[in-house]
Amino acid sequence: MIYLKQIDRVSAWEFYQNREITSFSLPETVRCIGSHAFYGCRDMENIFIPAFVSSLGSGAFMNCSRLREVTLPAKITVVRTDSFSGCYSLSAVEFPDTMRAIGDRGFYRCANLQDLHLPPELKKIGNSAFERCSRLKSVKMPDSVHILGSRAFCGCWNLGMARLSANIKIIRKWAFSDCWNLKGVKLPRELLDIGEEAFSNCISLKKIILPKKLKRIQKRAFMGCSQLKKIIIPASVQRIEEDAFLCCENLREIAMNDRTFCMDESILSHAQLLHLSKNQNHLEIMLDSENPDFSEQHERKLLFRFWMQKDEFTRRIYFKQIRKPAYKIPLAVLMTDEQDSVYKNYIRENFQAVTQYLYARADEENGARIMALCR
């Protein structure tokens, strides 16, 4: 053990890559630990940080690969950039209740960290703060957290549950990407935006409830969530960007509201069986990979464009481009709003073929509706 006497600070880079240190006890007089002070002390297993230390520099214990546990004193309110990055053996961290922020890469690649008890007044979790903490099993954030950085928990392969702060409004890109074991996540009620690839490759995620204030789902937000079966888009969502659900091969149902006005057509391109519906006065689209009538994505995209258009003239253009008759798609353009003139004109022009198709499938109910529509 190394023990220093009567100093008030440990200077930057002072013990850089010192291989003789196995245990270190700082004197009570120390107030500050400089940046990279113990960088690369790979044989150090224990460190005692006295109660009056109020400042911990960036990279202070970076790459101390054998450091096993650490207790931070109450006067330290910020874990700075890379403070414990690369401490692979670190299994326990005791935070003071006074902790306010965990900086970028604060605990990056602390691969042995399993239990995380975040302090009650924490306000910020920085970029890559806990990235690749591969043994971390659960995260419960206090509601004091307002900022969650990009890649904050990216690559936490064993993370099974995450409870986010109720006051987070943005989940930034790659925040939970590659959390392969993530089965449940409670999203904050104030959430407005889910960032690019925020939950990509969360292959164990089967269900997620989107909050009622959500406005945007960014590119590839749920890409590769292969176990996701159903998702309900709340009425507040205004934009769903391209490939939001790319490679979600088990996604069976998406329900959304009329206010979801901007959505990339690729949302339809990767699901085997997809049911889309718009609230009570809804238009339903059924896509079934086993039905040869839906084998070409071209028809899916044109139908989707038709469905999303508000302008009647534009809808007419897209509708006429559908090479395979729309009546071959069960409930594809059967609208509860029977005043839609584009659809009504199409049915009238193809009345005999439509009714024959429906009755051949014993779909008497929809056949009767078609008859009533064209009187």
Which residues on neighbouring strands pair with residue 94, listed in sequence order? 71
Q: How many angstroms separate the CA atoms of 202 and 216, rounded?
A: 19
Domain limits of the chain?
283-375
Q: Is 132 exposed, middle or buried (0-12, 13-18, 19+ CB in 10 A)?
A: buried
Report the distance separating Cα 293 and Cα 291, nearest Å: 5
**Pairwise CA distance, residues 373 & 182, whole Å:** 49
pLDDT the model gives residue 321? 53
Is 38:67 a contact under the CB 8 Å cutoff? Answer: no
Tens of each residue's pLDDT in the chain, 375 residues: 555 567 889 999 999 999 999 999 999 999 999 999 999 999 999 999 999 999 999 999 999 999 999 999 999 999 999 999 999 999 999 999 999 999 999 999 999 999 899 999 999 999 999 999 999 999 999 999 999 999 999 999 999 999 999 999 999 999 999 999 999 898 999 999 999 999 999 999 998 999 999 999 999 999 999 999 888 888 888 888 888 888 887 877 777 655 554 555 555 554 443 445 444 333 444 444 444 444 455 555 555 555 555 555 555 555 555 544 443 443 334 433 444 565 666 666 666 666 665 666 565 666 666 666 666
Q: Which of these, 287, 321, 291, lies nearest to 305 by C-alpha position?
A: 321
Quote the pTM value.
0.76
pLDDT, position 331: 37
Q: With 0-12 CB in 10 A as exposed, 13-18 as middle and 19+ as buried, what is 108?
A: buried
For position 58, what pLDDT does the model report?
A: 97
pLDDT given for residue 3 in this prediction: 52
